[in-house]
Amino acid sequence: MDVAITKHSGESTGRKANLSAEVFGIEPNDHAIWLDVKSHLANLRQGTHKSKQRAEITGSSKKIKKQKGTGGARAGNIKSPLFKGGGRVFGPAPREYSFKLNKKVKDLARKSALTYKAKDNAIAIIEDFNFNAPKTKQYIAMLKSLGVDSQKTLLVLPEKNFNVATSGRNIKNATIITASQINTYDVVNADKLILVESSVGKIDNLLNK
């Protein structure tokens, strides 16, 4: 699949980049995408939720009233879950939410997500560029010149670039990553995938090892 290469200013370069069928043209696997997105979101969870159990409540352990003869239900101490301020029954406890996903499944999921973007014509390729200094206005101008300033965008750089990353980090709905950081969640979540020309080859090498 050939995609036209433009400059970051929106001007055409007259050249095209070829997106390999092994990465951008496979038979998509929806279940692999679901598993990888689920894994990504699970790995982001801290799992630090905690409520106090009955044994952790501060209070007297004395029996409130005698067992029989009161006409009411039996009651133990004030730390019972039945009373206000008592311990919580089966409350949340700290736990680890992350789970392992096989590398082949992750690669299949990323290829499937990239294939969907290619089928939807939601991939733009721009010539390698750099900013002289971190300028948010420059990044916004680039998005406007590409006609994607009102969409969720994912810019994939070939390697870390401080000026570009800093220019776009405060822009709503604009995400910037490197080719080595590409993941299914970010690709699926973006309306438009913007690939810097040099990052195309790096993505191919990453997913075709």
What is the pTM for the complete model shown? 0.84
pLDDT computed for residue 168 by the predictor? 92
Average pLDDT estimate for 151-156: 95
CA distance readout (Å), 126 to 7, 146, 151, 161, 197: 5, 9, 17, 15, 6
Rounded to an integer, what distance in angstroms lies between the CA atom of residue 65 and that of residue 76?
Answer: 8
Give the start-to-end residue ranges of the domains of the chain: 2-45+98-207, 48-96
Q: Does 16 have pLDDT greater than 80? A: yes
Rounded to an integer, what distance in angstroms lies between the CA atom of residue 106 and that of residue 96?
Answer: 20
| Position 10 confidence tier, pLDDT thresholds 50, 70, 90 | confident
Q: Does 147 have pLDDT greater than 80? A: yes
pLDDT digits (tens, 9 = 90+) for 62-117: 999 999 999 999 999 999 999 999 999 999 999 999 999 999 999 999 999 999 99
| Position 12 confidence tier, pLDDT thresholds 50, 70, 90 | confident
First to last CA, the chain: 21
Query: What is the biggest distance separating any 2 CA atoms in the chain, rounded to whole angstroms?
Result: 94
Q: Please compute, for residue 62, the number of CA atoms within 13 A of its CA located in the half-sphere on the CB side.
A: 3
Rounded to an integer, what distance in angstroms lies between the CA atom of residue 44 and that of residue 28?
Answer: 25
pLDDT computed for residue 1 by the predictor? 80
CATH number of the domain at 2-45+98-207, out of 3.40.1370.10, 3.40.50.9100, 3.90.1570.10, 1.10.10.10?
3.40.1370.10
Q: Which string of DSSP letters, residue by residue, matches 64-79?
A: SS-SSSSSS-----TT
- Phi then psi for 208, rounded to 5 degrees? -120, 30
| Position 208 confidence tier, pLDDT thresholds 50, 70, 90 | confident
C-alpha torsion sign, points 163, 165, 169, 173: positive
pLDDT computed for residue 2 by the predictor? 85
Rounded to an integer, what distance in angstroms lies between the CA atom of residue 25 and that of residue 13?
Answer: 24
pLDDT digits (tens, 9 = 90+) for 42-63: 999 999 999 999 999 998 999 9
pLDDT computed for residue 14 by the predictor? 87
**CA 151, 156, 160, 166: dihedral to nearest 10 degrees?**
-10
